[in-house]
Structure 1
Amino acid sequence: MPLLHAISLISLAWVLIHLLYRLCKPKAPLLPTFTNAPTSRASRSWATDNSISTTVTVNKVQLRIETSAFNSRHEQLASRLRDRRSKRLRKWVITFYNAGVGAGICGLVLGLLTLLWITGDSLLARIILQSSKLSSHDKRALDVEGSAQFNAQNYIWLVIPGLTVPWTHLPLIIIAVCFCQIVHEIGHAVAGALYSVPILSSGLTVTLIIPSAFVSFSTALMGSLDAFSKAQIIAAGPWHNFLLWIFLIGLGKSAGIVENATGLGTALVNLGWEDLSKEGRVVVEIDNDSPLNAVLKVGSVITALDDVSLAGEQDKWSQYLMPPSSTDVPWYGWCVSRELFQADSADCCKTAHPTLDHLCFDSLGHGKGCLNPIPILSTSHDQFRCRTGGDCHDDALCVQPDSSSSSILRLSVQGQDLTLWNGPKKEVWEQVIVDRYTPRFWFIPSSATGSLNDFWSYLQMATLSLFMFNLLPLPFLDGAQLLNALINHAYPAVEPESIDMESGRRSSTSTSTGSQWKRRIERLVQTGTVCLVVVYFVLGVWTLV
């Protein structure tokens, strides 16, 4: 899906949201909901009974749904944990969330050290890469073995629809992130019930396309808790995300063990799908406006990209098409007549946009020339392929398309002639979605298995990311609030201080010297973390561009 289409669909969705929002007016008079409910004219409230109310707010590209529907359930849980008959249950819950504080501390320290290491390593690699480019201008050899290129994604993969993942993955990403955030907020809510801290409201916010769940606690009651109890509530969200990640990993490993022992999973999949991974990858979707629609169709089997075979378990499709390529490319040239190569000028090598019938070729030491690539690149016989000039006859040269002036990709499609693509390889990855399975029946969606696998991967990635990223000591994240609670636990404040779980703001009347140096430490850690995140993000985007 092109970027323009994605922007159009997102814009249309928000237009429909605004229209529905204005058409669906409440039948009953507007009633007050919560003490912290939005007071904007753009908010609408619905009261289902005397105790439950819901507020919907639409402000430009932000949709906020806030409800008290779960307040009674939370109070019931708090009452049960307060009950003397549930003394043993309360003890186990406290032990469980004590472990969450330990996991939160480990996650905070590990996240900081990892961020510091990868940022420094990425920055050093970028400086070395730039200096090596300035010091030498090496010509691209046929054998790319031993070449090195900095890749920030070796450590953290930036999931950016349309850039690092296809636009069609966007709904899967949103659902996975939303589910993991709900699990995260349930952790805060259950830990809050442990100390009878009532929730004022809970809900969901969507900003443009980014979902965010939230639970709003009473600031006054949160402020009355001791520092360690606050730490338990704060760390409970990331702790739930970490446990969900462990559960998903364990479930996947268990499924793999059962599959290896019985083959049950393969047998079930084979009932509806056929595995063609031994031949290549099956086309399951093509953008409607893609020029590849003329040569590819849903169900086509692509067996190779250039000289890289797509057969096997490894996803060489994405590895080869997404820059920088991490696939070991067995790139070979073609033997062409020396007379044919030298007969024409090299004018096309100076053109910014060469045509596909007049392309620049590099003869690896004998200059450049312009040739018609179609009869050359469509030849796959071994006697016409070469790695060096010595592999050809005396009257022939070993040539390949010049990478500096052209970008040719050869797609080998089962049962069809070779297809040549002139342009960025990334565009093929954006316009064509492939899978290893093809459905046996017409009513089964061709992309069903791929979508399920992608969703499973995004679910694991989202819950682990929420655990690690939320524990970074950044403003408004759990990590900053956990750091504050831990410092106050180690060095108790003279007067109690309150924390707003939603906004992250603190209020305190203490002006002692101890409170001042604690604030300085917090600000120093937060500022340093923000700088590291900004530097690493810039390096990551710089590498992708």
Structure 2
Amino acid sequence: MDLYDAACIICFIHAFLFFIDMFLKSCSHYPYLYFLENTGFKIGPGCIQWCTTVANNYFQKIVRHNPKFWSRWFALGVYVTCIILPFALYLVGSTAIANLSMKNEGQHHHPKTLSLEPVIPGVNLPLGDLSYYLSAIAISSVVHEAGHAFAALREGVQVSGFGFCIFLILPAAYVLLSTNQCQALPPSRNLRILTAGVWHNVVLSLLAYTAVILMPQFVSPLYSQGSGIYVVGFAEDSPLRGSTGFYHGDIITKVNNDCIVKNKEDWKNCISASFLENDERLGFCIGITFLLQNTSPTAFKDLLADSTNCCPNYKSEHLCFTTTFPEDVVKQVSDLDRTLLKKNCLPARKVIEESGISCRTHLSCPDAKPLCIHPLLANDTYLLTIERTSGEPHQPKIVIFLGHPAEVWFGIQVSDFVPRARFLSIFASRLPDISLLLMKYIAILSSGLALINMLPIFMFDGQYIITDILVYLLNRLSSRGTIEKISKLIVTFCSLIFSICIISYFL
């Protein structure tokens, strides 16, 4: 399912729910109206909302416990927001200038310097990570709004309810506060409420980032790292799955004899290296005796032909190999054997297990195995040998793959975390990676939510934060009406710059 089909399905579901909602309301269907009134659900065009007052009592109990701590906590949030705000303004301005300058110069890549960039599923975010993306947004939004609720109750402002909504597929939380009570507060106290959401997002982002760094230490009693990568899943219809490939729980340790795999970064580098060498394909060092004893009969015309297929059709486990060898080897064999040295039909697995030494030319082969044989393959086909430790009985140590290396990368799902005990299920073996990826998304999206909300732009917290900051600083120098006009000019200008920043990204 592509992005367009998914969007159509989502829009259809929302349209259907909205139609049912309007139909039941127009018929005054009492059970449905009773359900909406008692649960707090509301259905609108492309939006489903749920609001409750149940959380109010819990918020009150938390705030009443150690009130001095909460007072200092939210005061710290005001200082942190004011310190980060200039950096956020600079970041938006520099991003807008950089994007516009690139468009004028005809460049389509984005600057390598620090800049803002929207995270959009299917554009610069893998659709496979959509669940992590939505979960991180939901958690960041709930923490943000909970901050407003805690701060409001601490300042004596009434909280009417705490809600959650889904706009198409994007989740968001919200809190209902008494606007009149907030406006009646002095700017210093109102700032604590306004900046509480930003402050909580900053704290959440720092906690998530710390969890990412310390994750290996957290899981070290149950999982080890640096000894290979753990196979936790496969892509649909992957050719590397099953009796000729890998099983859940296999540990991959090496690629092509000499590329050691300790983690996913090594795994990526080893696969990339297998097809980045354009001049010479991977070969195997073998001895002359082994080659002559294991070469299958082949028509002499096939030996002389410039073809990648010199094996009979019934030799399914054999490959056609070509050979490079030192000049002194030529003098030791007959004319017929010399022809066999050039092109051979050999059992692939037997060659790989016998060799144990990779080569590009015969110069890297030892005297005991002076021949470097290369599989004759099509341009887009490569031979990869992958060493693994398998929990399945009677499985070979080496998995041989014939195809494009990209199929290996996308066909196997691996983890850096290897369970220390075999009784851990496949799901349990994926928990560290799931937690690590979720923490990364929370760290990124929570910090992004904090950054956006502190900016003085329309419809965000920064629209009101900048007003109270200016009132607090300029109250003795100018009237409130003049300060509010200045604030509106700042908000309008920053909103324009922010719009340019977003629009220029997509142009």
* TM-score for both structures, normalised by structure 2: 0.63
| 2:360 paired residue among 385, 392, 409 | 385
Aligned partner of 2:423: which letter?
A: F
Post-superposition offset of 1:525? 1.6
* Aligned-partner Cα distance in 2 for 1:489–1:326: 60
CA-to-partner distance for each residue in 1:237-266, whole Å, 9 max, x for gaps? 11112223334455676777xx5xxxx853
Q: Is the Cα contact below 8 Å between 2:467 and 2:484 reproduced in 1?
A: no
- Deviation track 1:121-175 (CA, whole Å, cap 9, x = no partner) reads 67778988959xxxxxxxxxxxxxxxxx977598678655566665454333333
- The reply to whether residue 532 of structure 1 matches residue 501 of structure 2 is yes
CA apart distance, 1:315: 2.9
Q: Residue 98 of structure 1 is aligned with which of 75, 87, 98?
A: 75
Residue matched to 1:56: 41
SS of residue paired to 2:459: coil
| Paired positions, count | 428
Which residue of the partner structure matches residue 201 of structure 1?
Answer: 161
SS at match of 1:473: coil
Q: How does 1:115-194 map to 2 (within 5 A)?
A: 115-117=92-94, 161=121, 167-194=127-154
Distance (whole Å) between structure 2 residues aligned to residue 382 and residue 208 of structure 1: 56
User: Do 2:456 and 2:466's aligned partners in 1 also have CA atoms closer than 8 Å?
Assistant: yes
Deviations 1:293-347 (A, max 9, x none): 47554334455678994622463456888xxx999977763399xxx9xx879xx
Counterpart among 175, 198, 216 of residue 238 in structure 1: 198
Asked if residue 298 in structure 1 is aligned to residue 248 in structure 2, the reply is: yes
Q: For 1:193 and 1:276, how far apart are their aligned partners in 2? A: 46
Of 425, 439, 444 in structure 2, the residue corresponding to residue 456 of structure 1 is: 439
Say which of 471, 474, 479 aligns to 2:454.
471
Residue 284 of structure 1 and its aligned partner are, at CA, apart by 1.2
Conserved? CA contact 1:472–1:529, under 8 Å: no
1:217 and 2:217 equivalent? no
After TM superposition, the structure 1 stretch with the greater mean CA deviation from structure 2, 520-529 or 241-250, is 241-250
Query: Which residue in 1 is equivalent to 2:418?
Result: 437
| Distance in 2 between residues matched to 1:163 and 1:304, nearest whole Å | 34
Give yes or no for contact 2:208–2:440 (8 Å, CA) kept in 1.
no
1:190 is displaced (CA, Å) by: 1.4
Q: Matches of 2:260 and 2:486 in 1, distance apart? A: 59
Residue 226 (str. 1) matches residue 186 (str. 2) = yes
Specify the SS of the correspondent of 1:213.
Answer: strand
Q: Which residue among 36, 39, 44 is the counterpart of 1:45?
A: 36
When residues 406 and 440 of structure 1 are mapped into structure 2, their CA distance, relative to the original with a 3 A threshold, is same
Give the CA RMSD over aligned residues: 5.6
Q: Is the 8 A contact 1:64 1:204 kept in 2?
A: yes
| Higher gyration radius (CA) | 2
The one-letter code of the counterpart of 1:437 is: V
216-225 or 187-196, which moves further after superposition? 216-225
Classify 1:116/1:223 alpha carbon distance in 2 versus 1 (closer, same or farther; 3 Å).
same
Q: 1:530–1:150: structure 2 CA closer, same or farther, 3 Å change rule?
A: closer
Cα shift at 1:15: 7.8
Distance of 1:328 and 1:289 partners within structure 2: 23
Q: Sort the Cα spacing of 1:67 and 1:265 in 2 relative to 1 into closer, same or farther, 3 A.
A: closer
Q: Which residue of 1 aligns with 2:287?
A: none
Q: Please report how far the alpha carbon of residue 383 of structure 1 lies from its aligned counterpart in structure 2 after TM superposition.
A: 7.4
Partner of residue 108, structure 1: 85
**1:283 alignment counterpart:** 231
Offset of residue 108 of structure 1: 2.0
Please report how far the alpha carbon of residue 186 of structure 1 lies from its aligned counterpart in structure 2 after TM superposition.
1.4
AA in 2 matched with 1:524:
F
For the residue of structure 2 that corresponds to 1:466, the secondary structure is helix
* Distance change (3 Å), C-alpha of 1:102 and 1:431: farther
Q: Does 1:65 align with 2:23?
A: no
- Closer, same or farther in 2 for the Cα pair 1:200/1:7, shift >3 Å? same
The whole-number CA distance in structure 2 between the counterparts of 1:478 and 1:245 is 18
How far apart are the structure 1 equivalents of 2:376 and 2:452? Answer: 45
* Distance in 1 between residues matched to 2:257 and 2:506, nearest whole Å: 34
For the residues of structure 2 that align with 1:450 and 1:179, how far apart are their CA atoms? Answer: 18
- What is the identity, as a one-letter code, of the residue corresponding to 2:76? A
CA distance in 1, matches of 2:466, 2:347: 66
Map Cα deviations across residues 264-298 of structure 1 (whole Å, 9 max, x no partner): 853x21xxx5x4743x4233122324455475543
Gaps of 5+ in 1: 32-43, 48-53, 81-85, 132-148, 346-356, 358-373, 387-395, 497-509, 540-545
Q: Could you list the per-position Cα deviations for residues 201-237 of structure 1 after superposition, in whole angstroms to 9, with x for gaps in the alignment?
A: 2111122332111112122222323333332211111
Paired letter, 1:282: Y
Q: Secondary structure at the match of 1:524?
A: helix
- Name stretches of at least 5 consecutive residues in structure 2 with no aligned partner: 284-301, 308-318, 320-345, 362-371, 389-396
Q: How many angstroms apart in 2 are the aligned matches of 1:223 and 1:399?
A: 78
Q: Report if aligned partners of 2:219, 2:432 keep a CA contact under 8 Å in 1.
A: no
Distance in 1 (alpha carbons) for counterparts of 2:277 and 2:269: 14
Does the 8 A contact of 2:255 with 2:387 survive in 1?
no
Work out whether residues 14 and 46 of structure 2, in 8 Å CA contact, stay in contact via their aligned partners in 1.
Answer: no
Deviations 1:25-80 (Å, cap 9, x if unpaired)? 9976847xxxxxxxxxxxx5243xxxxxx4212335432111222344556678x5
8 Å contact from structure 1 (residues 286, 297) kept in 2:
no
- The answer on whether the counterparts of 1:77 and 1:193 sit within 8 Å (CA) in structure 2 is no
Whether contact under 8 Å (1:302, 1:411) holds in the other structure is no
Contact 1:28 1:46 in 2 (8 A): no
1:183 and 1:375 map into 2 onto residues whose CA distance is: 61
Contact persistence 2:256–2:384 (CA under 8 A): yes
Read off the aligned partner of 1:385 and give its amino acid letter.
R
